[in-house]
Structure 1
């Protein structure tokens, strides 16, 4: 049900804004450090003090559940910890596109379209 609502919201947003796909956003914004295959081996990773994490193992590192809210907070820049690289930009400071409403536990939460697409793409990459 959740994904049907997300799909409907993205379809509506597409009519207004024509968002890119999650794969396109990842290739343009993330692959330089995280690598085209999201394993943390992008061409810019070599010069970083903190190596980018392997994004294909997020679910396995979290007990078999993909932590959607945590991933969105990390990308947005809301959640950073001591192990986090300062090289990661706070994407929430930029334009993440039109906002769509995502229903979670009966509550509607506004989420920028590009943030949602990117998070869903990263979830698809899980092993």
Structure 2
């Protein structure tokens, strides 16, 4: 198994990708923020700035327990002091995976998103 750190060069961006048929948390591609901060002398835990990554999803959809499509608009905010950022194409593919996946409730979708993002 290859344990080398993930880099943008290895990311899905710019590569042909199959669209997911179902929810799959493994599609999220985390890129260590430290890789670009270290050359600038920025140390984790001592950031000289504050901020966040903000993602807008103008259509997040899933199926309810009966198979009826549910659509929502979402905003995701990831703090700048988090250890990783999410590669954009992997984020899109991940969210598209919800389209044909059943969830018991809106809250179940939110819990799934929060759990997955906490592990990025």
Scaled to the shorter chain, the TM-score interval is under 0.3
Q: Give 1 or 2 for the bigger CA radius of gyration.
A: 2
Q: Scaled by the length of structure 2, what TM-score is found?
A: 0.25
Answer 1 or 2: which has greater strand percent.
2
Larger RCO (CA within 8 A; separation ≥ 6):
2
